[in-house]
Amino acid sequence: MNVALYMLRLDQIHPQVSGNKWYKLRYNLSCAKAQGYKRVLSFGGAYSNHLHALAWAGREAGIETVGIVRGEPEYASNPTLTDARQWGMQLQFVSRKKYRCRADEDYLKQLLIKYPDAYIVPEGGSNALAVKGFEDIFELPCWQNVPAPDLLVSACGTGGTLAGLIAAKPASLEVLGIPVLKGAEFLYRDIAALLDSAHVDPVEGWSLDLDGHEGGYAKITPALHDFIAYFEKITKIELDPVYTGKMMFRLHKLIELGKFAPGRSIVAVHTGGLQGRRGFL
């Protein structure tokens, strides 16, 4: 149990575009603008941190945004999508069935007819430019407060963030991803493909712990709920139930189980997502 634990507070980098989504979007937006696109279009659920961040960042960058949202138009008045609309994002609601086509070429072609001149960012913002967005993350001044970090832990959804961390990491640092989806073995392949698309040579020293999902995406067990409350009480740090809460719950368990050798210096990444808490807690 004798390990040192730090938290990289990406939730504090920006009041609206908090956490990992800022890193994932920065080069996508600058690239879309530089190439003269009129708008950026992307996909997400009704509480999507990604669409929320994109709406704000698009407004800041002076480029229109379109959000293709999984679910009923009633969601338009939830806190996440209210913010997004206020920041100028145009929303289109689609059925779950249609949403499943979000990466199909034919469907993307249809969307481009409806929204001409759109730069399409995949769900969660994960692409080669997202990976590149993390390139300077280890240069943040706060790293000076962490003596010899040797393990970095982050929640994983689509794996873009983990790929970015893997691409940027010093060789001495190991990276552990905790997927929040059930049955996330596919992420080994997806992350390798993202690294490849960003022209990163194969990197050693990363892995996934597939047992932290608590039943599946956005599933919140009573134990997870209690852990988030307990963690906030003792650390005064808020976690969201979909990503950072699951990561810390699992990491806490792994530490209790003695999975890490004494003396290890572990840095958990707070990837933000607190705006999404409004839909859950």
Nearer to ligand PLP, 118 or 248 (CB): 248
Beta bridge partners of 9: 270
In this structure, what are the phi and psi dihedrals at residue 73, rounded to the nearest 5 degrees? -60, -20
Nearer to ligand PLP, 150 or 240 (CB): 240
Q: Which listed residue (44, 58, 124, 133) binds ligand PLP by CB under 6 A? A: 124
Interacting stretch for ligand PLP, rule CB under 6 A, among 69-77, 139-147, 200-208, 269-277?
269-277
Interacting stretch for ligand PLP, rule CB under 6 A, among 16-24, 60-68, 199-207, 227-235?
16-24
Is residue 35 within 8 A of residue 119, CB to CB? The reply is yes
Is residue 121 within 8 A of residue 54, CB to CB? The reply is yes
Is residue 28 close enough to count as binding ligand PLP by CB under 6 A? no
Helix/strand/coil (H/E/C) assignment for every residue in 136-190 = CHHHCHHHHHCCCCCEEEEEECCCHHHHHHHHHCCCCCEEEEEECCCCCCHHHHH
Interatomic CA distance for residues 54 and 18, integer angstroms: 11
Minimal distance, residue 258 CB to ligand PLP, in Å? 26
CA angle 38, 42, 46 (to 5 degrees): 130
Residues in contact with ligand PLP, total (CB under 6 A)? 21
Residue nearest to ligand PLP (CB): 273
Interatomic CA distance for residues 245 and 152, integer angstroms: 16
Q: Which listed residue (20, 42, 65, 80) binds ligand PLP by CB under 6 A? A: 20
Site string for ligand PLP, 128-167 (x = CB under 6 A): ---------------------------xxxxxxxx-----
Nearer to ligand PLP, 114 or 182 (CB): 182
- Residue whose C-alpha is closest to residue 122's, from 193, 14, 24, 240: 24
Interatomic CA distance for residues 3 and 268, integer angstroms: 12
Site string for ligand PLP, 63-102 (x = CB under 6 A): ----------------------------------------
In this structure, which long-range contacts are made by residues 250-253, counting pairs with CB atoms below 8 Å and at least 24 apart in sequence? 250/178, 250/209, 250/211, 250/212, 251/5, 251/153, 251/178, 252/227, 253/212
Q: Give the burial class of 13: count Cβ atoms within 10 A of its Cβ; 0-12 exposed, 13-18 middle, 19 or more buried.
A: middle
Nearer to ligand PLP, 22 or 109 (CB): 22
Nearer to ligand PLP, 157 or 212 (CB): 157
Is residue 127 close enough to count as binding ligand PLP by CB under 6 A? no
Site string for ligand PLP, 219-258 (x = CB under 6 A): ---------------------x--xx--------------
> Which residues of the chain form contacts with ligand PLP (CB under 6 A)?
19-21, 49-50, 124, 126, 155-162, 240, 243-244, 271-273
